[in-house]
């Protein structure tokens, strides 16, 4: 059972330090512990991003998405004058793939899809964990709507930033692995 302390989680996701609400830092760490205690992974650092994309960890993907969200938000605030809640954006980015340690598992020494993956829409369980821990609806809805599998669109601008950035990072890794990209669904 994987049960990392706050220090380990904060070290893996350093952008947590940019969140102004210290209560949210604790809740982010507890959200990851909640999911990891239920998973088959030995550590958060080992969790895979997506089984058909070998060699990319979940932590790498989340950090890439979080960093790109912060960069894009900075540009939009400066150049377009858009008001962006950075706490909502960063928390949403760090938690957007909260359910992936349950969706994927090691099979014959390689990452594979779990029974959880077959039963539940990506984003749903992570959103429910966040809601149970007291995150506002702005974060909860961003977690559930960040995926193309969602029947709903984001309810705030921070959610749209997350959707686009996550899609870019996912498609970048899919292209590198010779897998069709999600963007192709928008033809």
In tens, the pLDDT along 74-105 reads 999 999 999 999 999 999 999 999 999 999 99
Taking 50 as the pLDDT cut, the residues of the chain under it are 187
Q: At what angle do helices 22-38 and 86-95 cross, to 10 degrees?
A: 10
pLDDT at res. 184: 63
Tokens representing 174?
Answer: 């899919």
Q: Determine how many CB atoms are found less than 10 A away from the CB of residue 55.
A: 10
Q: Does residue 68 contact residue 90 with C-beta atoms inside 8 Å? A: no
pLDDT at res. 54: 86
Query: Which are the contacts of 184, defined by CB distance < 8 A and separation ≥ 6?
Result: none
Q: At what angle do helices 137-145 and 86-95 cross, to 10 degrees?
A: 40
Task: Find the DSSP H helices in the chain.
Answer: 6-12, 22-38, 58-80, 86-95, 100-103, 115-119, 124-132, 137-145, 157-176
What domains does the chain contain, in order, with CATH numbers? 6-177 (1.10.3210)
Query: What is the distance between the alpha carbons of residues 163 and 113, in angstroms, rounded to a whole number?
Result: 22
pTM of the entire structure?
A: 0.95
pLDDT at res. 187: 44
């Amino acid at each position: 059972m994987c049960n990392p302390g706050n220090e380990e989680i904060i070290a893996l996701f350093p952008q947590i330090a940019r969140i102004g609400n210290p209560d949210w830092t604790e809740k982010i760490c507890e959200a990851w512990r909640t999911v990891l205690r239920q998973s088959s992974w030995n550590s958060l650092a080992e969790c895979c991003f997506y089984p058909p994309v070998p060699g990319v960890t979940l932590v790498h993907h989340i950090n890439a998405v979080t960093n790109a969200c912060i960069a894009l938000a900075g540009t939009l605030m400066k150049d377009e004058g858009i008001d962006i809640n950075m706490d909502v954006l960063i928390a949403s980015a760090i938690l957007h793939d909260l359910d992936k340690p349950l969706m994927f598992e090691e099979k014959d020494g390689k990452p594979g899809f779990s029974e959880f993956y077959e039963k539940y829409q990506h984003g749903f369980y992570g959103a429910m964990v966040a809601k149970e821990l007291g995150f506002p609806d702005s974060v909860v809805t961003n977690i559930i709507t960040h995926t193309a599998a969602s029947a709903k669109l984001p309810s705030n601008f921070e959610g749209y930033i997350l959707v686009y950035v996550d899609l870019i990072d996912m498609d970048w890794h899919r292209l590198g692995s010779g897998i069709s990209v999600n963007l192709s669904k928008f033809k």
